[in-house]
Amino acid sequence: MNINLEGYYRIRYSLFRWRNEQTFINRTIMAFFMACVTGVMAQIVIPLPWTPVPITAQTFAVLMSGVLLGRYWGGLSQLIYIAVGAAGIPWFAEMSGGIDVIMGATGGYLIGFVLAALFLGHLVDRYIRARKFMPMLGLMLFANFALIYIPGLMVLGLWMYTTTGSFPGVWELLVMGLLPFIAGDLVKITGAAALTRAITPKEPYGEEVDIEKAAEWRLP
């Protein structure tokens, strides 16, 4: 059992170190791959009749892009997702694409995707203790409900003003752009935090691995 755990710690350390040492081209390819994953998960959709904002699974991919790619590159993956979708590739929610989506009701959430991935990527790379389950759960809750939903709700309100001629009330805005998504987001955030805990090393980059001290890598 100890041998298996030691091998597991070595593998996750090696994979993160490998990711950190990739060339610009390779990391750009990985960012494009995560953009594709986001696009695929955006097609897992539950439309809601009272709002133009559907329930999707793409938030999970957004959060994990920061964890898997690290600082800057997680954000780049979401910029690629937005840019390619804006160019007309139908990989936004419900197989949509084009600049109209960026300028539409859900455009603010897309901006939030970039902010959330940048935020998590920086913290995962910079702070080892952030990779534990509870700190990561808190960080992902903030990234999801502040960095994604605040710009999302702001743009949704502006879109409603341009289409109806009046700003929605706070409660109406929350019903359309936040409240229906909380339960699903909590499931996705918890899963992403648990996955982060499982796959990220608890030792700094560049530190020589001593397999005999593997247990010390696990912070209390």
Vertex 120 angle, CA 118 and 126, to 5°: 100
Separation in Å, CA 165 to CA 100, 154, 158, 171: 19, 15, 10, 18
- Tell me: pLDDT of 218 over 70: no
pLDDT of the residue at 209: 40
Q: What are 26-81's pLDDT values in tens digits?
A: 999 999 999 999 999 999 999 999 999 999 999 999 999 999 999 899 999 999 99
CA dihedral 185, 187, 189, 195 (to 10 degrees): -150
Average pLDDT, integer, range 95-105 = 94
Average pLDDT, integer, range 139-152 = 97
- Tell me: pLDDT of 1 over 70: no
What the block records as the tokens of 53 is 């904002």
Q: What are 161-202's pLDDT values in tens digits?
A: 999 888 899 999 999 999 999 999 999 999 999 999 999 998
pLDDT of the residue at 197: 93
Average pLDDT, integer, range 87-109 = 94
Single pTM value for the model: 0.88
Q: What are 113-133's pLDDT values in tens digits?
A: 999 999 999 999 989 989 999
Regarding the domain delimited by 2-215, which CATH topology (the fold level of the hierarchy) does it fall under?
A: Arp2/3 complex 21 kDa subunit ARPC3 (1.10.1760)
